[in-house]
Structure 1
Amino acid sequence: MRKKILVMDTLDDFLKTLQNEIFDEAKQALGEKGFQRWRNPKFYGKMETPDGQSRVTGNCGDTMEIYLRFENNRVSNASYFTDGCASSSVSGSFAAELTLGRNPDEVTDITAQTVLNTIGKLPDKDLHCATLAALAVQEALSNYMSNLSPEKFEKL
Structure 2
Amino acid sequence: MYTDKVMDHFSNPRNVGQIDNPNVVVKVGDPGCGDAVLIFLKIENDIIVDIKYRVYGCGAAIATTSMASTLVKGKTLTDALEVTDERVAEALGGLPESKMHCSNLAATAIRAAVTRYLHPPEVKAGGEGSGN
The answer, yes or no, to whether TM exceeds 0.5 is yes
Corresponding residue SS for 1:127 = helix
- Tell me which moved more, 54-63 or 129-138: 54-63
Letter in 1 for 2:43: F
Letter in 2 for 1:136: A
8 Å contact 1:65–1:82 — kept in the other structure? yes
Structure 2 equivalent of residue 91 of structure 1: 64
Corresponding residue SS for 2:2 = helix
Q: Which has the higher contact order (CA 8 A, sep 6+)?
A: 2
Give the TM-score normalised by structure 2: 0.84
Corresponding residue SS for 1:116 = helix
Q: Distance in 1 between matches of 2:2 and 2:52?
A: 21
Residue 105 (str. 1) matches residue 75 (str. 2): no
Corresponding residue SS for 1:75 = strand
Q: Percent identity?
A: 28
8 Å contact 1:66–1:137 — kept in the other structure? yes
Letter in 2 for 1:79: K
Cα offset for 1:42?
Answer: 0.9
Q: Distance in 2 between matches of 1:87 and 1:123?
A: 9
Q: Distance in 2 between matches of 1:117 and 1:47?
A: 28
Structure 1 equivalent of residue 110 of structure 2: 137
- Decide which structure has greater helix share: 1
Higher Cα Rg: structure 1 or 2? Answer: 1
Corresponding residue SS for 2:57 = coil
Q: CA RMSD in A?
A: 1.5
Cα offset for 1:46?
Answer: 2.3
Specify every segment of 5 or more residues in structure 1 that has no aligned partner in the other structure, as ranges.
1-28, 148-156
Q: Distance in 1 between matches of 2:7 and 2:56?
A: 18
Cα offset for 1:35?
Answer: 0.7
Runs of 4+ in structure 1 deviating by more than 2 angstroms, as ranges, are none
Q: How does 1:20-99 map to 2 (within 5 A)?
A: 29-58=1-30, 59-99=32-72
Structure 2 counterpart of 1:118, from 85, 91, 98: 91
Corresponding residue SS for 1:30 = coil
Q: Distance in 2 between matches of 1:86 and 1:77?
A: 23
